[in-house]
Structure 1
Amino acid sequence: MAQQFVNSKLRANKVVVFGKTSCPYCHKAMDLLKKCNLTSEHLEYCDIATQSDMDDIQDYLLKITGARTVPRIFFGQKCIGGYSDLHALEEKGELIPILKQIGAL
């Protein structure tokens, strides 16, 4: 179930943030991504705290990304990491070019 849930969200031209509403870094990640003017078609926030199998989802995220912490941010099928990784891309001026490259902008 967890694998199906995660994989059903991932698309080539989409940014997906798996997080929890109680996580301040999840909110920071979404705020930063919203500043990029992504449309709702290309940006999705998945609050895993609302899922009955939240622990299984985090275990699956650990399996495919190497971490079970949130946020787990995917650009297309690839996990770029968490908020600090996203912020680093923005600081280096790489965020917008990557979003354009995957077709999210």
Structure 2
Amino acid sequence: MAQQFVDTKIKGDKVVLFMKPTCSYCIMAKDVLSKYKFKPGHLEYIDISGRSDMDSLQDYFLELTGARTVPRVFIGEECIGGGSDVVALHKSGKLEGMLKSIGAM
């Protein structure tokens, strides 16, 4: 069920941020992503903190991405990691290219 939920959210032309609102790295990732002008519907923040399947979701993140921590940031179907990874890609200028390459901007 958790796997199905995640798999339906991750699409080739979309950026998805799985997060918890109290997590500083999640806020960091959200702040960076908010600097970009996404096409409508191509950026989604998903708060997993109140979900009954939160543990299952994080177990699936581990299986899928090698880590169960949030944030898990997906650009298209590829997980680029967490908060500091997003900041590093932004600072290096690579993030914008990745967002454009999937058609999210």
Q: Could you tell me the TM-score, scaled by structure 2's length? A: 0.96
1:102 corresponds in structure 2 to 102
Q: For 1:11, give the aligned amino acid.
A: K
Structure 1 gap segments, 5+ residues each? none
TM-score of the two chains, using structure 1 as the length reference: 0.96
How many residue pairs match? The answer is 105
Q: Give aligned-pair identity as a percent.
A: 55
Instruction: Give the Cα separation in 1 of the matches to 2:67 and 2:98.
Output: 22
What is the CA RMSD across the aligned residues, in angstroms?
0.9
Once residues 85 and 26 of structure 2 are traced to their aligned partners in structure 1, the CA distance between those partners, rounded to angstroms, is 12
Match in the other structure for 2:63: 63
Q: Where does the alignment leave 5 or more consecutive residues of structure 2 unmatched?
A: none
Query: For 2:40 and 2:48, how far apart are their aligned partners in 1?
Result: 18
Does the residue aligned with 1:49 lie in a helix, a strand or coil? coil
SS in 2 for 1:6: helix
Find the residue that maps to 2:73 and give its secondary structure.
Answer: strand
The amino acid of 1:19's aligned partner reads M
CA deviation string 1:27-85 (max 9, x = no partner) = 11111101011244110011111210100000000000000001000001000000111
CA distance in structure 1 between the partners assigned to 2:81 and 2:40 by the alignment: 21
Residue identity matched to 1:29: A
Aligned to 1:34: 34
Displacement over 2 Å in runs of 4+: none
